[in-house]
Amino acid sequence: MIKFFVRLDSTLARLYRVSGYLAAMCLIAIGLLVAANIATRMLSMYIPGLTEYSGYAMAASSFLALAYTFQNKGHIRVELIISHLSTSKRWYAEFWCLAVASVTTVYLAFYLVKLVYLSWKFEEYSEGADAILLWKPQAFVMVGSIILAICILHNFVKFLVERLRLKV
pLDDT per residue rounded down to tens, the chain (168 residues) = 678 888 999 999 999 999 999 999 999 999 999 999 999 999 999 888 888 999 999 999 999 999 999 999 887 776 777 888 888 898 899 999 999 999 999 999 999 999 999 999 999 999 877 889 999 999 999 999 999 999 999 999 999 988 877 654
Q: Under a CB-based contact definition with an 8 Å cutoff, are residues 156 and 102 in contact? A: yes
Alpha helices in the chain (DSSP H): 2-42, 50-71, 79-82, 87-121, 135-167
3-class secondary structure, 84: coil
The pLDDT of residue 32: 97
17/14 Cα distance (integer angstroms): 5
The parent domain of residue 156 ranges over 2-167
- Alpha-carbon distance values, 92 to 21, 57, 87, 108 (Å): 34, 38, 9, 24
The pLDDT of residue 168: 43
The pLDDT of residue 151: 97
Q: Under a CB-based contact definition with an 8 Å cutoff, are residues 132 and 126 in contact? A: yes
3-class secondary structure, 63: helix
pTM surpassing 0.85?
yes
How many structural domains compose the chain?
1
The pLDDT of residue 110: 98
The pLDDT of residue 167: 59
